[in-house]
Structure 1
Amino acid sequence: MMRKNLKLCSIISFIFIIGIFLLQTSCNSNSGKTLPELKSENLTAHFDYFTYKGDDDFYKENPLPGDDYYYNPILPGWYSDPSVGSNGEDYYMVTSTFAYFPGVPIFHSKDLVNWKQVGHVLDRPEQLPLEGQRTSGGIFAPAISYNPNNQTWYMITTNVGKGNFFVKTKDPQGSWSDPIWLPEVHGIDPSFFFDCDGKAYIVNNDEPDGGSTYQGHRAIRLIEFDVDNDVTVGSSKMIVNGGVNLDEKPIWIEGPHLYKINGKYYLMCAEGGTSVDHREVIFKSDTPTGPFKPAVMNPILTQRQLPNDRPIPITCAGHADLVQKNDGQWWSFFLACRPIDNKFENLGRETFFMPVRWNEKGFPYMTKDDEVIPRMIQMEGVKRDDSLKIFGNFELKDDFTSSALGMQWMNIHGDASALYSLSENAGYLSLKCAEVSSNEAIPSAFVCRRLQHHKFECETSLFLHSTSKSDKAGILLYKDESHQYLLALQELTQDSSLLSVTRIGAEGAAVLSSRVITKSLNPVKLKVTSSGKAFSFQYAIDEEWNMLASNIDAYYLSTAQSYGFTGTTIGLYASSKDY
C-alpha cells in the first residue's frame, strides 16, 4: 500500500511539474519572458516592454531628397528653449524640462545635424528640488556655455520655485556640480557671456528700473560675474527696457543671449510671449554693458504675420540661440510649434534649426517679411545618420533589460525611483501601486516619454499582481495635473478584471469606457493610437486586439486648451489612489 501511495504521489508531482512547464511556456509565447514572480508586495505592476512608433503624414509624403538634408524640427516633440554651446570641436545642446526629472537633457553633435542624447545635466535630486511645483514650474530656459579661459562648461537656468543657479563641469558627458545659487540674480532666463578679455557677465529677464508700467513690461539686465569665486560682482544694470520699441509696449522680453562677433556685442532676445506673437529680436553695441541699439529689420525671426489657414503651419517661433561652425557659417536653434488646424498643439514647443544670414547693417537674421520656416533643409558636406532616430517617423522599443532606464524616460514632480524597479524582475519595469495619483504635485509611479508625432502608436504588455482592489496600472497620457487620459487595468475579483479609459481633470475623473474581462494567466496588452486629433484605446489578452474607446478628443491635452509650457507625455503608470 505504501509503495502504491508513493507511486501515486510521484505521478501527481510529475503532472504538476508538466503543468508548471506548460504555464511558463504559455507565458513565454505571449510575452517573450517568463511570468514574473511576486518578490515584493510593494511592486505590483510589471510591464514587459514599451513600443513607440511615429506615423506622421508629412514624413511619408515628403521624403528627404538627399543624405545631406534634415527635417525640421531637428528635435521633435516637447524640447523647448534650446541652447547650444561649443568649444570649437564639440557642440552641446540643452532644453527645458520644467517639473520633470531628471532635468535638462543634454545632446552632443560634431556637425549640428546628427545629435545624440548623452545624459541629463540635472540627474540627482539634490540638483533639482521640485517640491510642490506643478508641471509648468521647475526648470525654465537652461543656457549652456563654454568658457575658453578656464576650459569649463556652464549651464545656468531658473528653478522657478527656488531661484537662479548654475552648475559646471569639465566633461559635459559626465557629472555636473551641485547647484551654485545666484541670490543677486532675479527674474528668469539667465545666460552667461564669457568675453575674450577674461571678464564674464550674466544677462537675464527681470523687472525694469522703477518697476513695470504695464502688463508684461520686462527688462533685460546685466551683472558682472567673478569666475574664480563663482559669485556676481556689483549691481545689475538695465540694458534693454521693454523691448525694441517701448512706445509700442512690447511684452515679455526674455531668453537673452549675448555674443561678441567681429568686435561688436550682440544681444538677442525673445519678445511677445511664447504663443503665436512670439518673435526674436536683436540689438548691437560697442561694449557688453551697452548702450544697445535695435536692428531696424527686427524681428529677425517670427511667423506671427502669416495667415492662419496656411498649410502645415509652424507657429510660435522664437527663443533662439546662435552658434558658428568651423566653416564660418552661423546657425540658429529656436523653439516653434507645428499644430494641426492651429488648435492641436499636443507636441508642445519643439527645437527647430536653420541657417543664419546677415544684412548690410551687420545684423543676423533667420526670416524676413513673409518667409516661412522650412520643414526640410540641406547642410552640404554633412551626412545624415538615420540610425540616431531623432526626427522623421521612427519606431523604438524598450524591453527593460538594462539596469537603468533609458535617457528618454522621465518622472514628473521629482525622482520617483522609489516607486519603480528594473531589477525586481529581470526584463520588466515593475511599478508600485502607491497611495499617490498623477493629479498631485508629488512624484507618482509614472515613467514617461515625450510625444514626438501627431500620429503615433504605443503598446505595452502588463502583468498586474494586485494586492488591493484599488490597485490600477496601465498607460497614461499626461499634459498636466488637470489634463490626462488613463487606460488602466484593475482587478475586481479572483476571476475578473476591469479595463477602463478615464479622463482626469480639475473637476475630477470621468470614466469614458469600461469593460469587465475574465482574468487570464496571460498578460494584458494595451495600446494607444493617435490620428492627431483623436486617440483610440485598445487591449488584447491573446493576439486579437479589441477596441475599448475610440475617437477620444486629443484637444483636451493640447496646450491651446490646457495652457502651460510643456507638451504631452505618455508612459507607464500605477497607483492605488482614486482621483
Structure 2
Amino acid sequence: MAAGLASALAIVAAGASQARALEPAAPPTKTEPSAAFDWFEYDGADPSDAAFKPTASQYANPILKGTYPDPAVMRVGKDFYYVSSTFAWFPGLPVFHSTDLVHWNQIGNAIDRPGMLDFGRLGLSRAVFAPTLSHRDGVFYILNTCVDCRGNFLITATDPKGPWSDPVWLPAVEGIDPYLFFDDDGSAMIVFNGEPPGPPEYSGHRAIWAIGYDIKARKTVGERKLLLDKGVNPAAKPIWPEGPHILKKDGWYYLIAAEGGTAEGHSQVALRSKSAWGPYVPYPNNPILTQRGLPKDRPLPITSAGHANLVDTPDGKWWATFLAVRPYGDDLYNTGRETFLLPVEWKDGWPIILENGKTIPYVHAKPNLPPTTPKPPPTSGAFKVREAFDGKALPLSWVTMRIPQQKWWRLDGGKLVLSARPETIGGMTQPSFWGRRQQHMNASASTEMRFRPTKAGDKAGLVAVQNDAHFFFLGLTRNADGQDEIVLERRASASDPEGGVKVAGAPVALKAGAPVWLKITARGGAYDFSYALAAGQWKTLKADEDGTILSTKKAGGFVGALLGVYAHADAAPGR
C-alpha cells in the first residue's frame, strides 16, 4: 500500500505543480467604463417552506436548492464530500464538505483556473457534465466528462479543497458519466455510459460499460466489457442508462444507475452480481426511485427524480443524494435540477430509496450524525444572503460564463468592480458577469450600483439568465440620442438580437458618482423589475414579465437560472 500511496501522490503532485489560483491574464488594456456594485442581496422563499417546516430533529428537502444537478457524494472516515455538475459555468464542479449529510460548506471548486479546460464558445449546457468522486490511499479522484471539449478526464487532489491537478485524459473511455471504482484488492475499474454494442435500435438506446484502470500508469488497461445494454427491462426500450456507480456490500457488487432521461420519466435502478465485471441481475421491483406516474395535479409536486448516489455512514446506515425538480407549472421550473436526500432501506439484499408510488417528502428525520462545523450558510428552506464584497475574493458559489482569460473584475474598498467590455451576454462569449443561483421559486436579487456610460450602448446592471438566448437585463444604459435611461431588455430566443429586445425604459439624470438601485423579483413564472434613485424608493419599471423563458422547458438544456451583475461597453466602429 505504501508504494501505491507514493505513486498516487506523485500523480497529484505532477498535476498540481501547474496549479495556480483563479487569476487570469492581465486586465484589458483598452480604457472602458466600469461598474461598481456596493452589495448584492438575494432573498428567497417557497410555498413548501411555509407548508413543511422541519422540526429540530428533521431536515428540509432539497438540501441544496438551485441548480446543483447530478450530485455525487462520498465518505472518508467521518467526513462526507460532495460535487455536482456545472456545465459551462466557471469556476466548475463545486466541492462541499459535511459531517451530517444535511448541511454543506462549499470548500472549493475543482475546475478553478484557466488552462485546466477550454470551454470556448460552448453553450451553457455543454462542457462539464456529471462528476463522480472516489478516494484511495489519501488521494481524492474526480472523473468527469467535458462534452464537446475533448471527452472524459480524471483530476486528483490530496486535499478536497484543492488544488486539483490538471486533467488526465481517458481516450478509451467514451460517452459520459465515468466513475472510478476501487475493489478491496486495490484494483480499479471505470464504469461509464457509452454507445450500444451494435447499431442503436431506437433513440436513447445506450449501454453501461466497464474498463480496467491502472492508477500508477494513469491509463486504462484491457478491453472494455458490457455491463448493461438498454436497461433493466430491454423489452420496454428503456432510454439513457447513465450515471453508473458500483458499490460493494455483503459480498455483492451493486450497479446503481439512472434510467429514463432527466425529465419526468427519470428513475434509478439497481442490479447486482458476485463479480464487479458481472453478469449483473436487475432488482425484480425496479426502479428503486422515481416520481413518474404520479398524479400531475398533486400539490407542490417534486418530479424528475434520479441520478442517485448511495453512501454509508459510520454507524452502518445508508443514504442517497439524488436530483429532482420542483415545478411551479406544467414541468416549468427556473431553479434547475436540485439535490435531495433520503435514507436507503435494504430489503432482501436490495437497496430501496423510495417505494414506487410514494412522493418524495419535503421534510424527513435527520441522520444520526454530528453537526457540520463551522455552521454552513443556508442552502435549504427560506433565507436571505447579503454579499458586501468586503473579502479578498468572491464567494465560492459565484460563477461566470465560460472561462475568463482576462482579469476584468476586482474587489475594491467593499465594492465589486466590473470592467465594461464588448463581450455580451447572448454572444456565446465570456462577458463581464458574475452571479449566483436562483434557489427559490419566489426570490429577489437587488444591488446598489454606480456606473456612468460613456457612449451609446454602454450598459451595466442586473441579469437573470438561463443561457445565451434566454435572459433579462435590468440596468443603466445610454441610448442613441445620448439620454441615460433605466431599461429592461429581454432575449427569449436565438432569433432575438444578441443583446435582447428593449421591453421598457425610463429616462434618468444621474449626477456623476450617484448610485442607482436595481431589483429583480421572481414569483414563479412572473418576474418584476424595479429601480430606485434614492434608497428604498422603488419604482416598478415592468411587472409580470413572462419568466417562463428562463425555465428548462422553454430554454432547454440542463441548467437553472442565475441572478447576477453585468457590465458591457459597446464596441467602437471597426473594433
Is TM more than 0.5 here? yes
**Which structure features the higher share of helix residues?**
1
Q: Residue 412 of structure 1 corresponds to which residue in structure 2? A: 401
Aligned partner (choices 536, 553, 559) of residue 560 of structure 1: 553
Q: Does the residue aligned with 1:506 lie in a helix, a strand or coil?
A: coil
Q: Give aligned-pair identity as a percent.
A: 39
Q: Residue 511 of structure 1 corresponds to which residue in structure 2? A: 502
Q: After TM superposition, give the deviation of residue 60 of structure 1 in Å.
A: 2.8
Tell whether the 8 Å contact from 1:103 to 1:128 is kept in structure 2 after alignment.
no
Alignment partners' CA distance in 1, 2:517 and 2:138? 51
Tell whether the 8 Å contact from 2:110 to 2:164 is kept in structure 1 after alignment.
yes
Alignment partners' CA distance in 1, 2:547 and 2:243? 30
Tell whether the 8 Å contact from 2:180 to 2:191 is kept in structure 1 after alignment.
yes
Alignment partners' CA distance in 2, 1:317 and 1:493? 49
**Aligned pair in 2 of structure 1 residues 565, 463: CA closer, same or farther (>3 Å)?**
same
- AA aligned to 2:362 is R
Q: Residue 576 of structure 1 corresponds to which residue in structure 2? A: 569
Q: Residue 251 of structure 1 corresponds to which residue in structure 2? A: 239
Q: After TM superposition, give the deviation of residue 44 of structure 1 in Å.
A: 1.3
Tell me whether 1:329 sits opposite 2:324 in the alignment: no
Q: After TM superposition, give the deviation of residue 358 of structure 1 in Å.
A: 1.4
Q: Does the residue aligned with 2:48 lie in a helix, a strand or coil?
A: helix
Q: Residue 3 of structure 2 corresponds to which residue in structure 1? A: none
Alignment partners' CA distance in 2, 1:352 and 1:577? 43
- AA aligned to 2:318 is W
Q: Does the residue aligned with 1:404 lie in a helix, a strand or coil?
A: coil
Aligned partner (choices 466, 480, 487) of residue 453 of structure 2: 466
Tell whether the 8 Å contact from 1:416 to 1:445 is kept in structure 2 after alignment.
no
Q: Residue 339 of structure 1 corresponds to which residue in structure 2? A: 327
Q: How does 1:92-491 map to 2 (within 5 A)?
A: 92-147=81-136, 150-161=137-148, 162-360=150-348, 362-379=349-366, 381-382=368-369, 388-415=377-404, 418-422=407-411, 425-491=412-478
- Give CA-to-partner distance per residue, 1:203-241, whole Å, 9 cap, x none: 000012123221110000000000111110012111101
- Give CA-to-partner distance per residue, 1:137-191, whole Å, 9 cap, x none: 01000001112xx221100000002110010111112311110000110000000
Alignment partners' CA distance in 1, 2:405 and 2:345? 45
**Aligned pair in 2 of structure 1 residues 384, 527: CA closer, same or farther (>3 Å)?**
farther
More deviation, 565-574/81-90: 81-90
- Give CA-to-partner distance per residue, 1:287-315, whole Å, 9 cap, x none: 01000000001000000010110111000
**Aligned pair in 2 of structure 1 residues 146, 380: CA closer, same or farther (>3 Å)?**
closer
**Aligned pair in 2 of structure 1 residues 217, 239: CA closer, same or farther (>3 Å)?**
same
**Aligned pair in 2 of structure 1 residues 124, 287: CA closer, same or farther (>3 Å)?**
same
- AA aligned to 1:82 is P
Q: Does the residue aligned with 2:226 lie in a helix, a strand or coil?
A: strand
- AA aligned to 1:46 is A
Q: After TM superposition, give the deviation of residue 429 of structure 1 in Å.
A: 1.1
Task: Supply the RMSD in Å over aligned alpha carbons.
Answer: 1.8
Alignment partners' CA distance in 1, 2:230 and 2:517? 54
Alignment partners' CA distance in 2, 1:489 and 1:495? 13
- AA aligned to 1:537 is F
Q: Residue 498 of structure 1 corresponds to which residue in structure 2? A: 485
- Give CA-to-partner distance per residue, 1:471-515, whole Å, 9 cap, x none: 101101111111111102013599952111111131222211111
**Aligned pair in 2 of structure 1 residues 243, 494: CA closer, same or farther (>3 Å)?**
closer
- AA aligned to 2:553 is A
Q: After TM superposition, give the deviation of residue 382 of structure 1 in Å.
A: 4.4
Tell whether the 8 Å contact from 1:313 to 1:342 is kept in structure 2 after alignment.
no
Tell whether the 8 Å contact from 1:344 to 1:554 is kept in structure 2 after alignment.
no
Alignment partners' CA distance in 1, 2:213 and 2:351? 27
Where structure 1 has 5 or more consecutive residues not aligned to the other structure, the ranges are 1-38
**Aligned pair in 2 of structure 1 residues 541, 222: CA closer, same or farther (>3 Å)?**
same
Tell whether the 8 Å contact from 2:99 to 2:370 is kept in structure 1 after alignment.
no
More deviation, 487-496/449-458: 487-496
Q: How does 1:26-65 map to 2 (within 5 A)?
A: 41-65=31-55
Tell whether the 8 Å contact from 2:459 to 2:477 is kept in structure 1 after alignment.
yes
Where structure 2 has 5 or more consecutive residues not aligned to the other structure, the ranges are 1-28
- AA aligned to 2:72 is S
Alignment partners' CA distance in 2, 1:258 and 1:137? 26
- AA aligned to 1:376 is V
Tell whether the 8 Å contact from 1:437 to 1:577 is kept in structure 2 after alignment.
no
Alignment partners' CA distance in 2, 1:483 and 1:534? 15
Alignment partners' CA distance in 1, 2:230 and 2:54? 42
Tell whether the 8 Å contact from 1:83 to 1:93 is kept in structure 2 after alignment.
yes
Alignment partners' CA distance in 1, 2:252 and 2:72? 21
Alignment partners' CA distance in 1, 2:367 and 2:69? 26
More deviation, 463-472/559-568: 463-472
Q: After TM superposition, give the deviation of residue 393 of structure 1 in Å.
A: 0.8
Alignment partners' CA distance in 1, 2:488 and 2:480? 19
Alignment partners' CA distance in 1, 2:60 and 2:366? 11
Q: Detail structure 1 runs of 4+ shifted over 4 Å in the superposition.
A: 382-387, 492-496
Count of matched residue pairs: 534
Tell me whether 1:545 sits opposite 2:538 in the alignment: yes
Tell whether the 8 Å contact from 2:99 to 2:369 is kept in structure 1 after alignment.
no
- Give CA-to-partner distance per residue, 1:73-124, whole Å, 9 cap, x none: 0001000000011122211000000001111000001121221100101111
Q: Does the residue aligned with 1:257 lie in a helix, a strand or coil?
A: strand
Tell whether the 8 Å contact from 2:456 to 2:570 is kept in structure 1 after alignment.
no
- AA aligned to 2:282 is P
Alignment partners' CA distance in 1, 2:187 and 2:532? 63
- Give CA-to-partner distance per residue, 1:395-415, whole Å, 9 cap, x none: 111111122111121011212
- AA aligned to 2:550 is L
Q: Residue 14 of structure 2 corresponds to which residue in structure 1? A: none
Q: Does the residue aligned with 1:58 lie in a helix, a strand or coil?
A: helix
TM-score (norm 1): 0.89
- Give CA-to-partner distance per residue, 1:3-35, whole Å, 9 cap, x none: xxxxxxxxxxxxxxxxxxxxxxxxxxxxxxxxx
Alignment partners' CA distance in 1, 2:143 and 2:437? 23
**Aligned pair in 2 of structure 1 residues 390, 217: CA closer, same or farther (>3 Å)?**
same
Alignment partners' CA distance in 2, 1:210 and 1:389? 48
Tell whether the 8 Å contact from 2:455 to 2:482 is kept in structure 1 after alignment.
no
Q: After TM superposition, give the deviation of residue 467 of structure 1 in Å.
A: 2.7
- AA aligned to 1:102 is P
More deviation, 553-562/301-310: 553-562
TM-score (norm 2): 0.90
